[in-house]
Structure 1
């Protein structure tokens, strides 16, 4: 018999059994009739069936027909739904993953998704899901990866993700979340934190700390304030830190040099100022350094340019006045280097003397005023210094290096 015919017959038998049970059951209401199932059925897959059917009802547009076959109790055959043996009983199949990436699906997430207690992976990248996340998602105690990027979710930072004990990968980028970022986020044992391109405001939590994150991307939010010294608590894990276009100000803290595993550091398109901390010379694993479109001044140290793994250095649109040693000719080492629009007297495409003098005559003391305030710093002369050029707003389809944006 052909597989399609067999599946059709199987579904027919299930439906017949379901109808028989409903007809023979006594002293039960209609709501109970809908939940009657045979003794041999899998209660966890039945819960998943209820959740997925509730979800399908609140999907308003599915142009690629991803949920067309979400019909009947055989949820393991649904498109984008993946079953696996249960962790507590390998003889029982459960819904362990849902992947509807790039579906262009419109709708919202119903409370019933909390019934998917065995879910380890939920990927909804590049759809049109909207609204707020249901608190019932806190029931997903096994959830390991949550990717909600490129959607239309709104509201404050979704606190429900703070209650997911197994979560390692969190991707909320390109949504409409707003308000402050809770410091509790960094107490979790997350490996990757992508919250860029939302509407988060306030400041980076001053008690930011963690032990496990290898990638943190805050880019394209309006966080303001300084990068707190407690960023050093990620020293044993952090490999990529992207703070592009977050309205950061003040000086880079010396503690950033403690991130000895760092490979990518991008703080471009901010309002950072003052000399670079010499501790950057200790970032031996660093491959990409982007300081462009800030108000950094002073020297570009030879120790930075001599880092053994450097591939790309961008310091354009700052106020550096001297490149020391090998920094004068980094391209000779095969390193991509951009130092345009600084105050380097021997280099082409630099700022005017008038622009440069506004900074040189009022140097920033980062030890005395790490956030740029106070006399003698930019706090009293910021109006005289041209602000960095505005950061272009990257769309979800833009290709930016690194690719996390």
Structure 2
């Protein structure tokens, strides 16, 4: 079965019929908020859009399509490269016929058409997002995956109070986390991965009721906010950033919803908190390429739905517990490049259960491709006591330092840290 992350990726490559169906579902979900979204004061941008003066408002079936025309013409004007001529037919007042533009009736009036969805995925367009996009107040879906849009996300997008899906992934946006998304009341899906956003993640992000959060492969720093478990996400991917610190125990608050948690290459330190084992719906857990220390929490034996578990390239130690290896749905268990010294029960023969595994570069007796006795002895003489670790700013550093100091200077700690990109 495909992971939910992959399902979301495939969902981004949508057909016309699927876009329309999704718009209908989004409008149904946003019906309650719709009555608040039409108080936006429409300003005339004819002098800014250039081509707007060639079509009077009488050329459009309703004022909303006139506003959409102004916004789209302003956008076309700041597109520098369109190698596939994706926007070639963005001409004239028939905006519902523009490629990538989808119209549908708004929740408050089923007799009219408005621009409700934009899907420019994989168009390879270069340019930026103009302020005029704030005129598209009926927009429910904005998909811009795999283009070359750059610059700052405009604050005017706060007017898109019906926006349900916002996908800016695989572009060249810069600046701090785009705080405008925090003001979108009906947002359900946020994907800003593979950009150049930097600085801390705002705690307010995790106060929003989002189903999917993808912020991986940016330049975010600081620590993971302590309120990470406040929202209702089923997928949370924050991999390939530079947060540091521990994973907050508040992650347990996502027990009712979270199915996939990916924290690859985020400079996490300290011990993996036992609260991760409370996420009973979890199917994918990947904390590889970090600085985690200490044992595998026994609480992970309660993750009956877990299919993929990746602990590789950390500094974890102790026993690989039989309770984890016996998980009924486990299909892939990777714990290579750590310092585990013992495998309980079935863990010694995972292939007999049909589980794909990788146990290389540990300290497991009688297993091939393990670390040297000298390295193992140095580390195992200094066990980490996880109950002494506390999650706060800069946490876990002492435990990491103790493991490093215990190792011979010439011993390789981890494999090269060019962690794989995760989509």
How would you bin the TM-score normalised by the shorter chain? 0.7 to 0.9
The answer to whether the Cα contact below 8 Å between 1:231 and 1:255 also exists between their aligned partners in 2 is yes
Partner of 2:39: none
The answer to whether the Cα contact below 8 Å between 1:211 and 1:237 also exists between their aligned partners in 2 is no
The answer to whether the Cα contact below 8 Å between 2:276 and 2:299 also exists between their aligned partners in 1 is yes
From 160, 168, 176, give the equivalent of 2:196: 176
Q: Does 1:382 align with 2:404?
A: yes
Write the mapping of 1:179-194 to structure 2, written as runs, cut at 5 A: 179-194=199-214
The answer to whether the Cα contact below 8 Å between 1:157 and 1:178 also exists between their aligned partners in 2 is yes
CA distance in structure 2 between the partners assigned to 1:170 and 1:308 by the alignment: 32
From 196, 219, 242, give the equivalent of 1:199: 219
CA distance in structure 1 between the partners assigned to 2:416 and 2:159 by the alignment: 42
State the shift of 1:49 in Å: 0.4
State the shift of 1:58 in Å: 0.2
The answer to whether the Cα contact below 8 Å between 2:60 and 2:93 also exists between their aligned partners in 1 is no
Higher relative contact order (CA 8 A, sep 6+): 2
State the shift of 1:369 in Å: 2.3
State the shift of 1:372 in Å: 3.6
Q: Does 1:58 align with 2:58?
A: no
Partner of 1:214: 234
What is the aligned length?
A: 366
What are the ranges of 5 or more consecutive residues in structure 1 without an aligned counterpart? 1-29, 396-403
TM-score after normalising by structure 1: 0.87
From 345, 357, 362, give the equivalent of 2:365: 345
State the shift of 1:35 in Å: 6.8
Write the mapping of 1:175-324 to structure 2, written as runs, cut at 5 A: 175-324=195-344
Q: Are the structure 2 counterparts of residues 302 and 393 from structure 1 closer, same or farther at C-alpha, using a change threshold of 3 Å?
A: closer
CA distance in structure 1 between the partners assigned to 2:403 and 2:324 by the alignment: 28
Q: 1:177-210: CA deviations, max 9, x gaps?
A: 0000001000000000000000000110122222
The answer to whether the Cα contact below 8 Å between 1:364 and 1:372 also exists between their aligned partners in 2 is no
The answer to whether the Cα contact below 8 Å between 1:362 and 1:378 also exists between their aligned partners in 2 is no
The answer to whether the Cα contact below 8 Å between 2:322 and 2:343 also exists between their aligned partners in 1 is yes
Q: 1:232-280: CA deviations, max 9, x gaps?
A: 1111000000000001000001111110000000000000001111111
CA distance in structure 2 between the partners assigned to 1:394 and 1:63 by the alignment: 29
SS in 2 for 1:265: strand
State the shift of 1:394 in Å: 4.4
Write the mapping of 1:43-54 to structure 2, written as runs, cut at 5 A: 43-54=63-74
State the shift of 1:384 in Å: 3.6
State the shift of 1:387 in Å: 3.2
Runs of 4+ with >6 A deviation: none
Write the mapping of 1:383-398 to structure 2, written as runs, cut at 5 A: 383-385=405-407, 386-392=412-418, 394=420
Q: 1:343-375: CA deviations, max 9, x gaps?
A: 00111110001111121100000001245455x
Higher share in helix = 2
State the shift of 1:33 in Å: 6.3
The answer to whether the Cα contact below 8 Å between 2:289 and 2:419 also exists between their aligned partners in 1 is no
The answer to whether the Cα contact below 8 Å between 1:366 and 1:372 also exists between their aligned partners in 2 is no
The answer to whether the Cα contact below 8 Å between 2:245 and 2:396 also exists between their aligned partners in 1 is no
Partner of 2:25: none
The answer to whether the Cα contact below 8 Å between 1:312 and 1:336 also exists between their aligned partners in 2 is yes
SS in 2 for 1:137: helix
SS in 2 for 1:44: helix
The answer to whether the Cα contact below 8 Å between 1:269 and 1:390 also exists between their aligned partners in 2 is no
Q: Are the structure 2 counterparts of residues 378 and 47 from structure 1 closer, same or farther at C-alpha, using a change threshold of 3 Å?
A: closer
CA distance in structure 2 between the partners assigned to 1:127 and 1:149 by the alignment: 8
The answer to whether the Cα contact below 8 Å between 2:55 and 2:93 also exists between their aligned partners in 1 is no
From 322, 326, 329, give the equivalent of 2:349: 329
Q: Are the structure 2 counterparts of residues 346 and 337 from structure 1 closer, same or farther at C-alpha, using a change threshold of 3 Å?
A: same
CA distance in structure 2 between the partners assigned to 1:150 and 1:54 by the alignment: 23
Partner of 1:105: 125
Q: Does 1:156 align with 2:176?
A: yes
Partner of 1:114: 134
Q: Does 1:130 align with 2:150?
A: yes
CA distance in structure 2 between the partners assigned to 1:76 and 1:35 by the alignment: 15
TM-score after normalising by structure 2: 0.84
State the shift of 1:145 in Å: 0.4
CA distance in structure 1 between the partners assigned to 2:165 and 2:365 by the alignment: 51
CA distance in structure 1 between the partners assigned to 2:400 and 2:130 by the alignment: 50
The answer to whether the Cα contact below 8 Å between 1:316 and 1:339 also exists between their aligned partners in 2 is yes
The answer to whether the Cα contact below 8 Å between 1:270 and 1:388 also exists between their aligned partners in 2 is no
